[in-house]
Structure 1
């Protein structure tokens, strides 16, 4: 069996957010597009962060609010750059699914941005993509019995 590469299973249609997008707008885009993560790109289309639906539903700073009655309202006064993760962990197209799966499990991520050899954003590898790879492997195994 050949090594399964990220490039074979990643989602190539990359929906992105911009650092200056409002968080309310971004939240509703995620719901509309049925995704849970947006890679965040700057004006030069370089990857600068990632934002998840969890970041938008309950940012960490809400738990640190000095006033316990503080309510977090999702509005566009906050922008993606205020909540996005910038400590990026990425996958590359040429990496094995095995290696990247271990990274996803270790970090408890639902998806990783995928970069090519030139470090350009070319896809996203999600847990759903990995399940599709698993289904393919199990089907092959079943057919080889």
Structure 2
């Protein structure tokens, strides 16, 4: 498959700076209906926060129970909890490479960088499902001919 990531990525990236509070980030993600939030300071991708990290916080010291799920306050910033080792993909990479990246690292999305290493999009598992649906539709059309 030689289709490029740029064809299916979501180009409207919603991001936050590392100083944004966890609570604010949670409600931003909820409002925008996104599950991954890149953390960018001065134009540089520093990390990413997922809705999973906010739902099941690793920073809770006590035994987990239901009261800690969504125990969100702005005492913590996204910079305190973000994943710093971010697996990225480039606009010019193939969808096949993107699929392998998401599968290998068991992640639901990856930031998309351009040739200058600037954040220009996000590619999620949902985007890849759309690509797969398009492939199936094209195959179906070919069989009809």
Relative to the length of structure 2, the TM-score reads: 0.91
Which residue of structure 2 lines up, in the alignment, with residue 7 of structure 1?
6
Give the count of matched residue pairs. 140
Moved more, 29-38 or 69-78: 69-78
Q: Mark the CA change 1:101 to 1:69 in structure 2 (over 3 Å): closer, same or farther.
A: closer
Alignment of 1:6-85 (within 5 A): 6-42=5-41, 44-62=42-60, 65=61, 67-68=62-63, 72=68, 73-85=71-83
Per the TM alignment, residue 57 of structure 1 is displaced from its structure 2 partner at its CA by 1.4
Query: Where does structure 1 lack aligned partners over 5 or more consecutive residues?
Result: none
Alpha-carbon distance in 2 for matches of 1:31, 1:68: 26
TM-score by structure 1 length? 0.91
1:111 aligned partner: 109
Q: CA deviation at 1:69?
A: 7.5
**Could you say what the CA RMSD is over the residues aligned between the two structures, in angstroms?**
1.5
Deviation at 1:61, TM superposition (A): 3.0
Aligned partner of 1:126 in structure 2 is 124
**1:86 maps to what in 2?**
84
